[in-house]
Amino acid sequence: MKPFKASIFSFILVAAFSFVQPIQSLAQERPPAPVVVDKVREQLLQKPVTLVGAVEPDKRSIIASEIEGLVESLPGEEGKFVNKGEVLAKFNTRSIEIDLNEAKASKREAQARYQLAKQNLARFQELEKKGVASIQQLQGAETEKSALGARISQIQAQIDGFEYDIEKSQIVAPFSGYVTENYTEVGQWVAKGGPVVELIDVEIAEINIDMPERYISKVNTGLKVQVNLDSLPDLELRGEISSLVPQADRESRTFPVKINIENKDGTIKSGMVARVSFPIGEPSTVKLVPKDAIVSQNNANFIYIVNEGAVQPLPVSTGMAFEDKIQVIGPVQTGQLVVVKGNERLMPNQQVTILNKDIEQDNKVN
């Protein structure tokens, strides 16, 4: 049995070697591939502390009605994006318009009577000077003129109120954002101050983190952080601390921290789970390569190292991210040339032509 097993093992080795040889030969026969390289670099970085939080909109508002009325139309549908000033709901204004027209007619009548009272007062003033009109008649004319002036002011206030109600019968968006909930329907009566829609603005996404007391002294507003979202694993984001609330929760002893992220395309949704990495841990020296150097294949990561004009794949694990670079863990040496562009179709032992010769020369000098 042992000779038989040895024969099988020898056969496998021969087969594997005969399979690898054509690949290496093919790689060597292919023309040199143009590539851009960079060096593996060492840097002292602080280990990140990752905390979990939730995405919230930068602005959230329940838009209420300033008047009471019957909903005639509801353009602000749930899930719809609306611009600032766009109509969210419209009330029926027919009864208000009738009251407005009636008030305007009353004002015209009062103005006509006021003009007559003004003329009468002037006439009694002249008669009083001639001793023909009594003081009582003069005072009566003055009182009537003043009363009609006050009546005109009262009617004008009613007109202003009706016009205001008509203006506010169209409820508009105070800022651009998404309608997340309707609190009324067409044909429903809404009371003054009653909720109509909920509106959120996610152009700036806000992440709320409860930070343990032992870390709070190590962070401040403006600190740049890395953000990863569970629902968008391929998206790496950079944010910054926008506020620190200097009051801990008495039970959990955590401090509320808010992080802002730009979200102009609306990719980030409210309620998503976010993992925020704060650079506040113990410092350590790590090896870094540009993120573009990482090639992922079959759930494994590797980089292409350039050696004497040919490339070899080198398996690595990734760690901390720093700006446009990422930590690599594995048999990597500082100063090695690593392919950052043109590594998509490379093969083991393939010859390459380095386009950025300055990096190569710098590496030879060092």
**Is the pLDDT confidence value at 4 over 60?**
no
Pairing of strands 189-190, 81-82: unpaired
User: CA nearest 226: which of 173, 277, 283, 162?
Assistant: 277
CA dist 125 and 341 (Å) reads 100
CA dihedral sign, ordered 99, 100, 101, 102: positive
pLDDT in tens, 319-346: 887 778 899 999 999 999 999 999 988 9
Q: Is 291 exposed, middle or buried (0-12, 13-18, 19+ CB in 10 A)?
A: middle
Identity at 275, one-letter amino acid code: R
The CATH number of 30-44+284-365 is which of 2.60.40.10, 3.40.605.10, 2.40.420.20, 1.20.1600.10? 2.40.420.20
Cα-to-chain-centroid distance, residue 48 = 24
Residue with tokens 């490339």: 311
Class at the top of the CATH hierarchy for domain 93-167: mainly alpha
Instruction: For residue 306, name the pLDDT band (cuts at 50, 70, 90).
Output: very high
Can you tell me whether residue 363 is helix, strand or coil? helix
The whole-model pTM stands at 0.61
Domain with CATH 1.10.287 in the chain: 93-167
CA dist 212 and 222 (Å) reads 19
Domain with CATH 2.40.30.170 in the chain: 49-59+201-278
What is the per-residue pLDDT for 363?
A: 54
CATH superfamily of 49-59+201-278: Efflux pump adaptor protein, beta barrel domain (2.40.30.170)
User: Contact 246/213 with Cβ under 8 angstroms?
Assistant: no
